[in-house]
Amino acid sequence: MILVFGRTGQLARALARAAPAAVCLDRAAADLAHPEACAAAIAAHRPAAVINAAAYTAVDRAEAEEAQAHRVNADAPAAMARACAGLGVPFVHLSTDYVFGGAGGRPIAPDAPTGPLSAYGRSKLAGERGVRAAGGVHAILRTSWVFSAHGRNFVTTVLRLSEARDALRIVDDQIGGPTPAADLAAACLSVAQRLQDAPALSGTYHYAGRPEVSRKGFAEAIVARSGRKVRVEGIPSAAYPTAAARPLDARLDCSRTEAALGLARPDWRAGLDAVLRELGIGPAREAQRW
Ligand SMILES: NC(=O)C1=CN([C@@H]2O[C@H](COP(=O)(O)OP(=O)(O)OC[C@H]3O[C@@H](n4cnc5c(N)ncnc54)[C@H](O)[C@@H]3O)[C@@H](O)[C@H]2O)C=CC1
């Protein structure tokens, strides 16, 4: 049995859909603000593998709640990783492009120097370190720009705003790889399986959708493929101040993931069309811009 921390988030929902036999724990069953409760849950369920799909993901709010973000994103995964190491079962943990500064001008390799710009990024980086320090069989999957039909994400936000406005102002100087939650879930399950057979594959991997795109380009694709009529205008990040700074160039180099794990990068356009179908929005037949 696979044990999943998280039940209502984007990734957790996609995991539950892809692996109906998985046991998914919500906050009432295991609150990541109490790391010892997470370790106890692992001991109680004695799973074959553990995937941590829960996290403190309120990037801007984390600036004012760094201690809480650290507990959830660093202390809890470290406790989970130690519990997994004790049982000898693989632990799959999710991390983020926000552990990087994003000024490199080229896709970022997994062993590139980190340099988070935000409290959220620092908390996720500390989580990575805690997971590695536990010394067990593990994979840290860094991903970016996750979207699905559920919750607040870039796709659902653009769709919501496009109903109410004539024009959207979207930053055009941030680039990255949008990642469908469904593909990310499949990747997590695949990695969990591979680690059971080949623990030496333990390590840090990048998994993000392709092709790389600016936030504005992503918004344009959402508008076009959903048949909305709203205009998309580009603005610099400097014109859209947020509490937390974001990396401008968050392209993740995923070649190690492809070579070592056989996981190809998902095409986010296909994932976007699937999300639009799930939401009953369409048709996604506008002229392909790529
Ligand atoms: N959403 C994104 O664009 C990105 C996400 N990630 C990472 O991917 C992973 C999955 O993210 P999503 O599914 O998009 O996040 P989400 O925000 O959709 O879901 C997070 C889940 O964690 C749960 N949670 C928060 N605090 C908790 C606590 N104290 N105890 C128990 N559960 C708690 C929430 O209830 C929610 O169900 C996370 O590790 C996140 O840091 C990485 C890069 C980008």
**Domains of the chain, each with CATH number or no CATH:** 2-151+180-209+251-267 (3.40.50.720)
CB 59 within 8 A of CB 244: yes
Atom 23 of ligand 1: nearest residue by CA position: 54
Atom 32 of ligand 1: nearest residue by CA position: 27
96 lines ligand 1 (CB under 6 A): yes
179 lines ligand 1 (CB under 6 A): no
Atom 28 of ligand 1: nearest residue by CA position: 32
> What's the confidence (pLDDT) of residue 286?
47
List the 203-206 sheet strands across, edge first. 23-25, 2-5, 49-52, 91-96, 138-143, 203-206
118 lines ligand 1 (CB under 6 A): no
144 lines ligand 1 (CB under 6 A): yes
205 lines ligand 1 (CB under 6 A): no
> What's the confidence (pLDDT) of residue 282?
74
Percent of the chain whose predicted confidence (pLDDT) is above 90? 94
- State which of 4, 24, 57 you would mutate to test the pocket of ligand 1, scoring each by most atoms of that ligand within 8 A of its C-beta: 57
> What's the confidence (pLDDT) of residue 283?
56
226 lines ligand 1 (CB under 6 A): no
pTM value surpassing 0.90: yes
pLDDT-flagged residues of the chain (< 70): 283-290
> What's the confidence (pLDDT) of residue 104?
79
**Is beta strand 91-96 parallel, antiparallel or unpaired with respect to 49-52?**
parallel
ipTM over 0.85: yes
Dist. CA 215 → ligand 1 center (Å): 20
Residues 286, 70: Cα–Cα separation, whole Å: 43
- State which of 51, 56, 92, 146 you would mutate to test the pocket of ligand 1, scoring each by most atoms of that ligand within 8 A of its C-beta: 146
**205 is a catalytic site residue:** no
> What's the confidence (pLDDT) of residue 41?
98
Would you tell me how many other CB atoms lie within 10 Å of the CB of residue 103? Answer: 10
Catalytic residue, candidates 120, 205, 207, 240: 120
